[in-house]
């Protein structure tokens, strides 16, 4: 039996996770979630990882959402538990200490898009579709979609996408801020790795604190957000990396950050 999630380490500092369930459009099953959580823990315990990329095998689907075939025989309580498990896993992605890039190689619907929304940056291929389609199945997004989509693209656009349940093209997704970059299928992983490498050259502690400041600050008012930023900034001051950055600038060379 092949792995449902494949893990690869690139250039010592980048983790590449690939959803590998192409026979089911990379739909989210319990087994896939188990493997994803296992790999998230593995990455979180590896201090050398400075950026993570999440993508999927094939060229048609990043993730078509929850595995509805698996859910068909469930009781109402089991369905609620299954959705909660998806939500918990998506939140684990959102809480990863380093920047996370979603490399969307194909359609992302329902829980698949919710997984992408938990990432920090989304790079998508041209000419595919993204959407929270749950209302067309008489349910609502239950793995963070109503909250993360609204925070990302604003109240009106989020309501339009969720209320209609209609997928949008990646071109429209770019225009409304749902994705940050478009590319072709052949260049997707290279573009994601290129961005990850640029991120990984920066101070690991600074990256962690910047992510914390942004993610915590967006949930509150400006004054509180500025306080959070200040607290996170202070965490970078006593680090060896900060001194390395100053010395490298003075000596006109590339800094060598160690996360210390």
pLDDT in tens, 89-133: 999 999 999 999 999 999 999 999 999 999 999 999 999 999 999
Helix, coil or strand: residue 193: helix
Catalytic residue among 82, 114, 142, 143: 114
Query: Of 106, 110, 111, 112, which residue is the catalytic one?
Result: 111
Q: Nearest Cα to 34, choosing from 48, 24, 19?
A: 19
* Dihedral class, residue 67 (left if φ above 0, else alpha if ψ from -120 to 50, else beta): beta
* Of 95, 99, 116, the residue nearest 37 (C-alpha): 95
Q: Which of 27, 131, 134, 213 is catalytic?
A: 134
134 is catalytic: yes
Domains and CATH numbers, the chain: 5-200 (3.90.226.10), 203-251 (1.10.12.10)
Q: Assess whether 76 carries a catalytic annotation.
A: no
- When mean pLDDT is compared across 1-5, 151-155, 254-258, the lowest value belongs to 1-5
Query: Phi first, then psi: what are they for 122, rounded to 5°?
Result: -120, 120
* 66 in active site: yes
- pTM for the model stands at 0.94
* Residue 172 is among the residues annotated as catalytic for this protein: no
Spot the catalytic one: 25, 56, 66, 158.
66
């Amino acid at each position: 039996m092949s792995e449902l999630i494949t893990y690869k380490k690139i250039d010592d500092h980048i983790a590449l996770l690939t959803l590998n369930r192409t026979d089911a459009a990379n739909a989210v099953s319990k087994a896939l979630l188990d493997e994803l959580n296992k790999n998230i823990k593995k990455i979180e315990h590896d201090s050398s990882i400075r950026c993570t990329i999440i993508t999927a095998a094939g060229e048609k689907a990043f993730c078509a959402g929850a595995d509805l075939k698996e859910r068909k025989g469930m009781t109402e309580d089991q369905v609620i538990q299954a959705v909660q498990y998806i939500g918990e896993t998506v939140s684990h992605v959102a809480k990863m200490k380093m920047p996370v890039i979603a490399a969307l190689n194909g359609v992302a619907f329902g829980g698949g898009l919710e997984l992408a929304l938990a990432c920090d940056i989304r790079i998508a291929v041209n000419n595919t579709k993204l959407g929270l389609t749950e209302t067309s199945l008489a349910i609502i997004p239950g793995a963070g979609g109503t909250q993360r989509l609204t925070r990302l693209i604003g109240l009106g656009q989020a309501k339009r996408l969720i209320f209609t349940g209609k997928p949008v093209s990646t071109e429209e997704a770019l225009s409304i801020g749902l994705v940050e970059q478009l590319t072709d299928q052949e260049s997707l992983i290279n573009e994601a790795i290129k961005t990850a490498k640029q991120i990984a050259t920066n101070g690991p502690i600074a990256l962690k604190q910047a992510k914390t400041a942004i993610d915590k600050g967006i949930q509150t008012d400006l004054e509180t957000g500025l306080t959070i930023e200040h607290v996170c900034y202070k965490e970078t001051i006593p680090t060896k990396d900060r001194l390395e950055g100053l010395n490298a600038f003075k000596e006109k060379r590339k800094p060598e950050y160690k996360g210390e």
